[in-house]
Amino acid sequence: MDDLQNTEFEALGSRIFRIRLHGYFTPEEALAVFHVLTEHVRDEPYFLLEVDMVDLTGASPEARRISAEKLGPLPHRAIAIVSSNFAQRIVAKLVLTAVSILEKTNRNTTSYFATSEEAQVWLESKRGGLDAKTKASPV
């Protein structure tokens, strides 16, 4: 299940992760990446996630559906989307919109960036707010 073919998953530090998508994102890849992510974050009050889509060529509707369904139940999160074109941003927006429709509460804080460096600075800036938010209202 954890056999990632076109996706890289990295734990970058305490509660901070990077997913790099390459090529075409399939349902099998979506299931595998969310299995790995869930294993890392399920017991955390929140997590910080960079999704690097610069090398993404597309995503199947089923992969987008799986991504939305699997992301929704996870803890509070800040998500930094790194993309190089409008089509990649649309794919991310479709998934994030579906998550907000499926969730009863919005646990996403999201922003878009041109580089990983900008994304990492923004994610670290969100850490304190998520610490306070999750202490005030547990998942």
pLDDT of residue 139 exceeding 60, the answer is no
In this prediction, residues 120-127 reach a mean pLDDT of 93
In this prediction, residues 41-45 reach a mean pLDDT of 92
* pLDDT score at 11: 94
> Could you count the other beta carbons within 10 Å of the beta carbon of residue 56?
23
* pLDDT score at 3: 67
In this prediction, residues 18-43 reach a mean pLDDT of 94
pLDDT of residue 100 exceeding 90, the answer is no
Between 120 and 109, whose confidence is greater?
A: 120
The identity of residue 21, as a single letter, is L
Contact 79, 110 (CB under 8 A): yes
**3-state class of 73 per DSSP?**
coil
pLDDT band at 1; cut points 50, 70, 90: very low
Hunting for tokens 């992510």 — which residue is that?
37
Summarize pLDDT for 64-85 with one digit per residue, the tens. Answer: 999 999 998 899 899 999 998 9
Q: ∠48-51-57 over CA atoms, to 5°?
A: 170
What's the CA gap between 115 and 67, in Å, rounded?
A: 23
What's the CA gap between 60 and 68, in Å, rounded?
A: 13
Hunting for tokens 């990295």 — which residue is that?
10
pLDDT band at 93; cut points 50, 70, 90: confident
Between 106 and 45, whose confidence is greater?
A: 45
75: buried, middle or exposed (CB in 10 Å: 19+, 13-18, 0-12)?
A: middle
Q: What fold, for 7-116?
A: Transcription Regulator spoIIAA (3.30.750)
